[in-house]
Amino acid sequence: MILLTILIISALIGLGFYISSIYINARSIEINKEVLSSPSLSIEIFDNENKPIKEDNEINKAYAKIETLSNETKNAFISIEDKNFYNHKGVNYKRIAKAMLNNIRSGKLKEGASTITQQLVKNTQLTSEKTFERKIKEVALAQKIEKMYSKDEILELYLNVIYFGNNCYGIESASNYYFSKPAKELNVEEASTLAGMIKSPAKYSPIKNYDNCLKRRNLVLSEMNKDGKLSIEKYNKAINTKLSLNLNTEKKNKLNSYSQMAIDEAEQILKIPSRQIALSGYKIYTYQDKSKQDALEQSFKDVNPDCDSAGIIIDNKRHAVSAYIGDSIYKILDSKRQPGSCIKPILVYGPAINENIIYPCTQLLDEKTTISEYTPKNVNDVYRGYVSARDALSKSINIPAIKVLSYVGIEKAKIYAEDMGITFDELDDSYSLALGGMTYGTNILQLAGAYTTFANNGKYAPAKFISFITDKNNNLVYINKPTEKVVMREDSAYLLTDMLKTCAKTGTAKKLAELNIDIASKTGTVGKPNSKNNLDAWNISYTNDFTCGIWLGNLDNSPITYAGGNQPTEIVKNYFKIIGDKSNFNIPSSIVEKNIDRTELDENHRVVLANNYIPERYVQKEIFSTFNLPKDVSNKFSSIEKPILNSKVEGNKAIIEFEAKDYLTYTTISNDKTIEKISGKNGNQKIIIPLTSNKQKVTFECFYTLSPEIASSQEISFVKTSKKNNDKWFI
């Protein structure tokens, strides 16, 4: 026990010296006054030729003077963030002690107990890393700032640097974006909303998480009331007021610019907010290709959709975003949308081909179906009978997709999609997934990125905006090195691509046919329930080299009149017309062309290889993987099956019915005369033969029209008996 006590005391003394040394060193750090007083910062961003991207990359130009803000606005932040702000000297030791105990219990640095002054230090002088060393530096610098500035000056600086989400740094910028008014005009409900957001701008976003934001706002109001900063009358009125936004539309272009997407990606890479990126002097080098960016922007101008929209160009081989455009007052890539039928290649047909469940020519019965209590419908409630998987995909027919998903299995199909970058909610476990019915959905970056798998011989890596990042001294701190994952065989990827080429020629994306290039495409349309209008319209198209994704819709879910095969496909067509992509898909050596028996496919919906005797007109050429070839060979034209005859007598006439095949010729002979000859017809046929005697023989012959030597014949006798004027025919 004595030894243990000595060890503990020694450890505490050592820890004390360690903390003291960090604290003393931190006290010698100079406060960067320029950063405190100049919140307007910019980030240098470059394209793929290392030329500056000419977009607005400034971080917050707006500034609010403390004397212009209402007491209710100031008190909202103080009540929720730092009740003792005007009483402490930069640090609240009681809160720190409590937070440390909670952190020790959890084993993680979850709580910081930072005062407003400490938060100002963290946002302007230090990185956001959660370490004890940074926390000690934060305390030391907070105390220095308290000696340099008055409380009101500190509060003003703080309110002009904190982050409110959606690229809003500072209360003036946030007020302008969320409420379209200057900060001096904020009412108590609006000020409380902003004060509640800063703990976690994503979690408490009034745009994405309305309920969370409302609860948090009401907590701020409650704390203000407890602190005596808000009367009970005002509190009751405010807490019963709905959360109301008035988003500023002037900011939408910057919010969804290529530069902003690169900044967002840099925040994830460097694990610091964009303000810190600007403060630290990092330079971001991207994959943006100006010619493709210009072409994408022009392709949208030519269609000019009157709704929110986004477009993306991905370099398939480099997994790089070459161009991006977005138009909305919301940040598009932060939102998820239902993908509609664009999910079918990723979740349904691609997995089914790779699992050797279907061929492109596999016949699927399109009929009214109920599966696991789910009764889906086709568009306009139209059902086509048997269709090939190729046609079902290219024409985006719903029922076959759901059937194929059932063959693959939902969980296995989701694994394939997840390996291509699509994320699911735990509630995504129904067959409606085959039609894009997800709980939350996906975004255009994920969806277009998934399609690059098919162009890349079955390999996937996430598409990125950033190529590399340097620090202020031009030292390389990050370089993108994509790690590809094999999702499916290259032959499976090519077969799927070949099916989507059909979609671009004769399917829902047939507007692309006039391009006359090697392109694969899929459209998707998400209808608005109980309405003739839609919510989302998609087209994802790709060549061997590039993938182009287009989305039209409204993030507030107001309806649109567009459909995937129309305006989005038109935009894709415009883009490739400008760019002139002439690349061709590479055909893997594991892809072979085989002849199959078309008659067997039409009659029995089976995929069987054609034998050497089948005439060319009854042969259908199809491509297959060498790993999944049809095992059966047709016996057509090498032998012949006798047709099933149904015979009866009506009056003095014999009637013979049978199912005819268009490649067979049928001859009926009676009394040495040919009664009827049928050729080139399909389906039920009826032959009527006059009965001229009490016993009459009929010969029914059948042979291949193009190979008459292969034949069969049947004889039928019709015998009449008479008893007491009661005639009866026996067959």
Q: Could you report the per-residue pLDDT of 292-351, keeping only the tens digit for each?
A: 999 999 999 999 999 999 999 999 999 999 999 999 988 999 999 999 999 999 999 999
Q: Is residue 281 included in any domain, yes or no?
A: no
Asked whether residue 272 is assigned to any structural domain, the reply reads no
pLDDT, tens digit, 9 for 90 and up, residues 586-610: 999 999 999 999 999 999 999 999 9
Tell me, yes or no, whether 423 lies in a domain. Answer: yes
The answer on 431 and 545 residing in a single domain is yes
Residue 606 sits in the same domain as residue 712: no
**Inside any domain, residue 637:** no
User: Do residues 555 and 606 both lie within one domain?
Assistant: no
574 and 602, same domain (yes or no) = no
239 and 368 belong to one structural domain: no
Beta bridge partners of 489: none
What residues are annotated to the active site?
Answer: 81, 341
Region 132-155: what's the mean pLDDT? 82
Residue 71 shares a structural domain with residue 104: yes
CATH number at residue 509: 3.40.710.10
Band (455; pLDDT cuts 50, 70, 90)? very high
Q: Alpha-carbon distance 436 to 575, whole Å?
A: 26
C-beta separation of 320 from 468 below 8 A: no
Tally of domains in the chain: 5
Q: Is residue 584 part of a domain?
A: no
341 belongs to a structural domain: yes
Please, which residues have CB within 8 angstroms of residue 251's CB and are 6 or more apart in sequence? 167, 176, 177, 329
Last residue of a domain, one of 253, 273, 301: 253
Do 120 and 187 share a domain, yes or no?
yes
- For residue 612, give Cα distances in angstroms to 235, 362, 609, 634, 711: 88, 22, 10, 9, 18
Position 277 in a domain: no
- Token output for 668: 């009926």
Return the CATH number at 665.
2.60.40.10
DSSP string, 168-208: -BSHHHHHHHHHSS-GGG--HHHHHHHHHHTT-TTTT-TTT
479: pLDDT strictly greater than 90? yes
Q: Within this chain, do residues 318 and 432 fall inside the same structural domain, yes or no?
A: yes
Average pLDDT of span 221-249: 92
- Pick the more confident residue, 45 or 249: 45
Q: Could you tell me the residue range of the domain that residue 24 belongs to? A: 1-30
SS3 call for 288: coil
pLDDT digits (tens, 9 = 90+) for 180-205: 999 999 999 999 999 999 999 989 99
Q: Which of 7-16, 303-312, 710-719 has the lowest mean pLDDT?
A: 7-16
Residue 106 clears pLDDT 60, i.e. is over it? no
Residues 542 and 609 in one domain: no
Residue 199 and residue 325 in one domain: no
pLDDT at 54: 80
- Written as six digits, the tokens of 260 are 């902003």
pLDDT average, residue stretch 524-540? 93
pLDDT score of 615 more than 60: yes
* Same domain (yes/no): 25, 110: no
Which residue type sits at 602?
D
Same domain as 505, residue 365 = yes
Arithmetic mean of pLDDT, 90-105: 68
In a domain, 359, yes or no: yes
- Does the structure show a pLDDT above 80 at 134? no
- Tell me what percent of the residues of the chain surpass a pLDDT of 90: 68
What pTM does this model have?
Answer: 0.83
